[in-house]
Structure 1
């Protein structure tokens, strides 16, 4: 069996920045074991598997595809950067003729379209709920130590815990954090948290005017730190939209690689996430 495979840096226009994902193009479904083995072999935060759903169409002519995402250890329900990477392969490498492509996923139908040099993803909006921070004392201590915390929210749908640091903390404070994956795992093993988002208010008056910054840690699914996380921004966008009174926002995830996301809320249930992508490598998996 030969499987076309690509690696794509998502949420960036520069190689070696943003969040890398592998994208496999499949004519037929694989076994569950093989999906996971390939993702473990690629050893990126996510490997996307894109399946052609109609025998009469191909990756150039088709407008609807199956899409699954795997970390090196788990299948996940939603991944933004690997969705962006999949669309980049279709539009940039396969020359897909459609203005919009649809992906059938565990999170329902996701649409992606080209807009200038960016790709725009139609994603669900996931609103977090304010929490009593005392319920999360252990994980907060492991994550941010004694830094001042403004508030803590949790999203049951995504199992993401959002920690907003006090406004006295700026981007440099967020960038300097280095929580230990093992400590995070030991501090929270109840299953209620699968991803930890730490965020601070941005500086929209200075160029390029980011509304907020974030970092994302997910050792619970085998990803110590995810460089740029589309799914986390389905929660962050809902939170910061209320805090800032804005529907359109520019966000920056300040991992070592870093990445930029353009966000626009559409009502109270959907979110457009726009970003750029660079296809860095293509080849064949021979199995």
Structure 2
């Protein structure tokens, strides 16, 4: 079997920035263990598998596909950057003829479309709920050390913990964090956390004017730090929209690679997450 495979840098318009994802185009479904083996071989934070749902479709004319995401260690229910990467392969490489595409996923139907030079993803919005800091002090300390924390929230749907640093902390405080993956794994006594988001309010007087900054750590999924994370922004969008009183926001995830996301809350309780993507490699996976 020969499988077309691509490497795509998502949430950036520059090669070697943003978050790299592998994208595989499949005519038929595979055995689950094979998905995982391929993801382990690709060794990126996510490998996406686009599957034709109708044998008569092709990747240029079809408008509806199956989509699954695997980290090197497990399957995940939602991934933003690999969805963006998948759409980029279909729109940019396969020259898909449709104005919008629908992916059938573990998180339901996800619609993607082209808007200008960006790809827009219609994602679920996950508003996090405030938590008692005393119950999570170990994981907070393992993540941010002695930095002052303003809010602590949790999204049960995504199993993500959100830590907002106090406004006295700036972007440099966020970028200086160096949580140890082993310490994070040991600190989660509840067993209900699969990722930690750390965020800080943006500086409106500094250009570009980002509304907030973030970083994301997910050693529970075999990812010590994810460079740019769409699913985390489905949580961040709900949190910061309420705090800032805004429905449209510009965000920056300040990992070493870095990436920019545009967020727009919708009237139907979902969120549009927009970004750029660059296809940097294509080849064939032979099994």
Shorter-chain-normalised TM-score: which range?
A: over 0.9
Q: Which residue does the alignment assign to 2:285?
A: 285
Q: Which residue does the alignment assign to 1:201?
A: 201
Residue 268 of structure 1 deviates from its aligned partner by 6.0
Q: Which residue does the alignment assign to 2:38?
A: 38
Q: Which residue does the alignment assign to 1:166?
A: 166
Cα offsets for 1:103-132 (capped at 9, x unmatched): 000000000000111000000000100011
Residue 179 (1) aligns with residue 179 (2): yes
TM-score, normalising length: structure 1: 0.99
Using the TM superposition, name which of 132-141 and 76-85 deviates more.
132-141
Contact 1:125 1:235 in 2 (8 A): yes
The 2-side partners of 1:27 and 1:6 are apart by 15
Q: Which residue does the alignment assign to 1:53?
A: 53
What is the 5 A alignment of 1:103-114?
103-114=103-114
What is the 5 A alignment of 1:41-120?
41-120=41-120
The 1-side partners of 2:6 and 2:198 are apart by 30
The 2-side partners of 1:144 and 1:132 are apart by 17
The 2-side partners of 1:204 and 1:246 are apart by 13
Q: Which residue does the alignment assign to 2:213?
A: 213
Contact 1:126 1:269 in 2 (8 A): no
Cα offsets for 1:122-150 (capped at 9, x unmatched): 00000100011111011011111110000
Contact 1:125 1:268 in 2 (8 A): no
Q: Which residue does the alignment assign to 2:132?
A: 132
Kindly tell me: are residues 137 and 268 of structure 1, through their superposed partners in 2, closer, same or farther at Cα, counting changes over 3 Å?
farther
| Structure 1 residue runs of 4 or more that deviate by more than 4 Å after TM superposition | none
Residue 86 of structure 1 deviates from its aligned partner by 0.1
The 2-side partners of 1:85 and 1:119 are apart by 9
Residue 225 (1) aligns with residue 258 (2): no
Kindly tell me: are residues 74 and 189 of structure 1, through their superposed partners in 2, closer, same or farther at Cα, counting changes over 3 Å?
farther
* Pairwise CA RMSD: 0.7
Cα offsets for 1:171-196 (capped at 9, x unmatched): 00000000000000011153211010
Residue 255 of structure 1 deviates from its aligned partner by 0.2
TM-score, normalising length: structure 2: 0.99
What is the 5 A alignment of 1:239-250?
239-250=239-250
